[in-house]
Amino acid sequence: MIEQRKKDKWVIVVFHSLLLVLLLSFQRACCSFSSHSKQQKDKVTELPGQPNVSFAQYSGYVSVNKDSGRTLFYWFVEAVEDPASKPLVLWLNGGPGCSSIAYGLAEEVGPFRVNADGKSLYSNPYSWNQVANMLFLDSPVGVGFSYSNNSQDLLTNGDERTAKDSLAFLQKWFKRFPQYKGRELYLAGESYAGHYVPQLAQAIVQSRKLTGEKSINLKGYMVGNALTDDFHDHLGIFQFMWSSGLISDETYKLLNIFCDYQSFVHTSQFCETILDIASEELGNIDPYSIFTPPCTSNTTFPNKLLKRLHSVGHIGEKYDPCTAEHSTVYFNLPEVQKALHVDPAVAPSQWVTCSGLVNLNWKDSPRSVLNIYRELIQSGLRIWMFSGDTDAVIPVTSTRYSIDALKLPTVTPWHAWYHDGQVGGSTQVYKGLTFVTVRGAGHEVPLHKPKLARALIEAFLSGTPMPTLAGHDES
């Protein structure tokens, strides 16, 4: 009798174990089916006027806060060849208030450019999805196609919540695309993303320490012409404008008196008055690219120096300074929004490259993110900064002042790097950080110098120095 009871108990244990295994397998299968279903729902089959492509692309919404209905819009393009072997790069544009789809994707590192007709696209031969899987995020809510059910959210955006929502986005995005869990992830961006990128990197590192969750396998980040430290950035801007002959001696002195110690986002009236004078002295040039002609059509924000950290855009198959205007036409087309799975119920009445509402109502913006650099350098992340050397908005001088403030030991001294036998810029490797300048590029480096930007991302992802003339000749 006792032996029979033991056998019965053993059978029950085995049955329960098998049942548990079956339930877990069923749950995994359901989750896999659910994520696959959501992926397929987001798949973009073809955009209006799009050239033929071999890679897959997806776009859609990811909810980051159920209480208020904050929801971020993304566009993901897989690598042209063998995406399973390529890293994942998340690209962020700044503003604050500017769309990563308007700039990063449509005129910088994405696979397409918008033609002047505003109705069709052409291929970007230097797209970064030739070397990585590229994910573009419109952040925060109120930017691009991202939205909130609570209109108050658009008036209360700031750095802290943006980082929190972007982290929530990534966590949920990896659930929708589980094949990318654990994949090497790199963050990249420019301008005000000089705040977004290191802040998000910090949030990822801290979350990983707290939870032990390793699905977000962050390896490093890279930022270009990036707002980093208000004091050093202002100092560098004014010095660059003065030494480039863009402003008078008197204005240079007044800028240093009234603006050096000001917040970049929340400036005083005195500082704004002097900035207005500086803008007048500049004349009708584009401070984001001082040697190229500006777009003469209307832009989203008033063309006042330093009062906007977005760009009017400059590229095309033939040089075109009005690229952003073409994108505005294209992304407002109903057929384009339908192809991108934009929900008409929550779509903006007028899609814009940059939201003035978000920009003018920005809340917390720390004066410096150098403390985050110090923290993340210790964590072992690969960190690169780059500067187009014809940008007057966050110029090379600003970034050099900020890097100098970190007091990092030099590993490889300042020297020229080369591409196609020509000087592509200069570079210096510090302990924990690499700095690269890009010769002849403005605020949006991949826009003005796409070939050099491709060389930059290739070096960054491989963790190798920028090529020297000898190294270039050997290759």
Total domains in the fold of the chain? 1
The dihedral over CA atoms of 65, 69, 73, 76, expressed in degrees to the nearest 10, equals 50
Rounded to two decimals, the pTM is 0.89
The amino acid at residue 367 is R
Q: Which two tokens stand for residue 46?
A: 């073809």
Domain membership of residue 122 (yes or no) is: yes
Quick one: tokens of 140? Answer: 């925060």
Query: How would you classify the pairing of strands 88-92 and 133-138?
Result: parallel
Digit-coded pLDDT (tens) for 267-307: 999 999 999 999 999 999 999 999 998 887 644 443 333 44
Q: Residue 18: pLDDT band by 50, 70, 90 thresholds?
A: low
Residue 208, domain member (yes or no): yes
Residue 20: per-residue pLDDT = 59
221/99 Cα distance (integer angstroms) = 19
Q: What is the pLDDT of residues 190-199, one digit of tens each?
A: 999 999 999 9
User: Would you tell me the crossing angle of helices 230-243 and 396-406 to the nearest 10 degrees?
Assistant: 140
What is d(CA 174, CA 216) in angstroms, rounded to the nearest whole number? 8
C-alpha–C-alpha distance, residues 40 and 46, integer Å: 13
In a domain, 90, yes or no: yes
| C-alpha–C-alpha distance, residues 76 and 66, integer Å | 23
Summarize pLDDT for 67-106 with one digit per residue, the tens: 999 999 999 999 999 999 999 999 999 999 999 999 999 9
Q: What is the mean pLDDT of residues 124-151?
A: 97
Let me know if 89 is exposed, middle or buried by CB neighbors in 10 A (0-12, 13-18, 19+): buried
Structure tokens at 163: 């980082």
Looking at the domain assignment, is residue 210 inside a domain?
Answer: yes
CATH number at residue 195: 3.40.50.1820
Annotated catalytic residue 391: yes
Work out the average pLDDT over 413-421: 97
Residue 224 included in any domain? yes
Catalytic residue among 59, 166, 191, 207: 191
Catalytic residue among 99, 391, 398, 426: 391
For residue 383, being part of any structural domain is answered with yes
Residue keyed to tokens 């993901």: 76
Omega before residue 302 within 30° of 0, cis: no
Catalytic residue among 234, 310, 326, 443: 443
In the residue annotation, 443 being an active-site residue is answered as yes
**Residue 313's closest CA among 129, 451, 448?**
448
Residue 384 included in any domain? yes
pLDDT of 155 above 90? yes
Predicted pLDDT of residue 315:
31
**Higher pLDDT among residues 137 and 21, named by residue:** 137
List of residues 6+ apart from 155 with CB closer than 8 A: 357, 361
182 residue type, one letter: G
**Residue 3 domain-assigned (yes or no):** no
Query: Could you tell me the residue range of the domain that residue 375 belongs to?
Result: 57-229+364-462
Does the annotation mark 415 as catalytic?
no
- Give the mean pLDDT of the chain: 90
Q: Tens digit of pLDDT for each residue in 183-231? A: 999 999 999 999 999 999 999 999 999 988 888 999 999 999 999 999 9
